[in-house]
Structures are given as C-alpha cells and as structure tokens.
Amino acid sequence: MSSRTPSPLARSERLARSPVVRRGGQWWLVAGSGSILATHPTFTGELDRFAAAMDAADQAIADLRSQQADPPTPHPGRQR
C-alpha cells in the first residue's frame, strides 16, 4: 500500500461491479483465470476519472439522504 492518503478505491475495491480493481494505487483487470496489471495511461486515466465520478455521485446521494433525514428548517416570516 502507498504511504500517501489512500483514495476510496485504494483498499482493493472493485469498480462499479466491473472486472476492474484498484490495489495499492494500481488498476488490475481481474478474471477467474487471473489478473493483469493495466498500464496504458489513457485507459488508467479514464478509470481514475470514472472512479472519481462514482465517488462524487455516492457523496451526492449520501448528502441527499442526510438532508432528508434532517428535520425541515423553519423559514423566517412564514406562519403555519
């Protein structure tokens, strides 16, 4: 594992139910017959961008759920 701050996928996590896994900062293609390291910079860059988009979407959903769980805030000047 890297000594830098781990990304959300640095724990050896599968990317969106795909055959792609990030381990120790490297992308791997995983199949039942084995794994191969992905080294093409364009491909791994796209995987990084996709992982970042997935993380942002997950965070947005968590934020929405948190807002729904919070009681509504009163609006000044409105009476019920």
Task: List pLDDT tens digits, range 39-59.
Answer: 999 999 999 999 999 999 999
pTM of the full predicted structure? 0.65
CB < 8 Å & 24+ apart, contacts of 5-9: 7/51, 8/51, 8/55, 9/51
For residues 4 and 43, give the distance between their C-alpha atoms in angstroms, rounded to a whole number. Answer: 22
Residue 41 pLDDT: 97
- Region 61-74: mean pLDDT is 82
Residue 74 pLDDT: 73
> What pLDDT band is residue 68 in, cutting at 50, 70 and 90?
confident
- Asked if 38 and 55 touch (Cβ cutoff 8 Å), the reply is no
